């Protein structure tokens, strides 16, 4: 089923690669929740994801070439920005290289600095990111 709906898996499992001969296939740099969401999507065309894993799902979808799921996951993350998760989403967007989401988080943080800075993750933002938030105010 994975091979039928995803070119990445089709190439890996049925191509000349060494992975096609193995019974397990490692998926690097992802979470169980992101992998669960992608497998469910490939099997059912349904998307079920937690807000906290939307960036991870988008990154895995990008890695696997699932552009619709990537776009959907990025939009879900962008629409879920709040004072409680802005800093953690910003960190994830930076770590996973989602510049549009990063920009939205910076703009949100600039407008809501008083409340966003209460989150523990806010203190772990880089000096560069902090400067961008201040400049966006």
Two domains, one topology: 1-80 and 81-137: no
pLDDT, average across residues 13-41:
76
Computed over every residue of the chain, the mean pLDDT equals 88
pLDDT at 6: 55
Say which CATH class 81-137 falls into. mainly alpha
Pair 91, 125: CB distance under 8 Å: yes
CATH number of 1-80: 3.30.710.10
Q: Return the exposure string of 8-30: e unless at least 16 CB atoms fall within 10 Å of the residue's CB, then b.
A: ebeebbeeeeeeeeeeeeeeeeb
Q: Among all chains, which residue has been given the structure tokens 């993750």?
A: 121
Does 17 score more than 90 pLDDT? no
As a whole-number percent, the residues of the chain with pLDDT over 70 amount to 81
Supply 67's token pair. Answer: 């552009």
Q: Where are the domains of the chain?
A: 1-80, 81-137
**Residues 41-93: pLDDT tens digits?**
988 888 999 999 999 999 999 998 999 999 999 999 999 999 999 999 999 99
pLDDT at site 71: 97
Question: Which pTM value belongs to this model?
Answer: 0.82
Radius of gyration over alpha carbons of the chain, in Å?
A: 17
Q: How confident is the model at residue 2 (pLDDT cuts 50, 70, 90)?
A: low
């Amino acid at each position: 089923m994975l091979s039928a709906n995803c070119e990445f898996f089709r190439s890996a499992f049925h191509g000349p690669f060494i992975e096609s001969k193995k019974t397990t296939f490692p998926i690097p740099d992802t979470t169980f929740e992101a992998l669960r969401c992608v497998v469910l999507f490939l099997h059912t065309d349904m998307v079920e994801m937690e807000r906290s894993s939307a960036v991870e799902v988008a990154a895995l979808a990008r890695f696997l070439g699932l552009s619709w799921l990537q776009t959907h996951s990025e939009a879900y993350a962008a629409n879920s920005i709040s004072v409680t998760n802005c800093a953690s989403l910003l960190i994830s967007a930076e770590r996973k290289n989602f510049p549009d989401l990063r920009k939205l988080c910076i703009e949100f943080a600039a407008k809501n600095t008083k409340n966003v800075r209460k989150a523990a993750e806010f203190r772990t933002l880089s000096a560069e990111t902090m400067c961008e938030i201040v400049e966006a105010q």
